[in-house]
Amino acid sequence: MSGFSILVDADACPVKDEIYKVAERRRARVFVVSNSFIAIPRAPFIERVIVPAGPDVADDWIAERANGEAVVVTADLPLADRCVKAGASVLSPKGQIWSADNIGAALATRNLMTDLRSAGAATSGPSPFGPRDRSAFLSALDLALARLARRASSK
């Protein structure tokens, strides 16, 4: 196994199977983090982490371990922001790569939409997850792990 890890915010993650396949090929450890039992394959590189119930407990576990040798997979923008700031590579399940250049605008939009909904405005939710999203995610994850490997070999 490499020193790389993939930290998965697993409760509603639709790409866990894809993560396992890429992680095995790239020799990365996977931590599947949730506050309830989630079935995982029996593989030495995959670890299930069940955290106590409570707001942000899984997020805190992930953020505390996010670093320059980790890829974080989450649809949670505040968690993505924390992990970007910690130096991790951060991806959404739809393949969006979050970075210091784009996470601020995404958070501002999220907060604006939350405010509009709480004021009674009708807003549309996210688009449904589809095959193009799955393909974009696979490409983004493979690219993120390749970048980590290149960075490690240049040290």
- Write the pLDDT tens digit of every residue in 78-106: 999 999 999 999 999 999 999 999 898 78
Structure confidence by residue, pLDDT tens digits, 36-72: 999 999 999 999 999 999 889 999 999 999 999 999 9
Phi–psi pair at 104, nearest 5 degrees? -65, -45
pTM above 0.85, yes or no: yes
| Distance from C-alpha of 43 to C-alpha of 100, rounded to nearest angstrom | 34
Which domains are present in the chain? 5-122+141-153 (3.40.50)
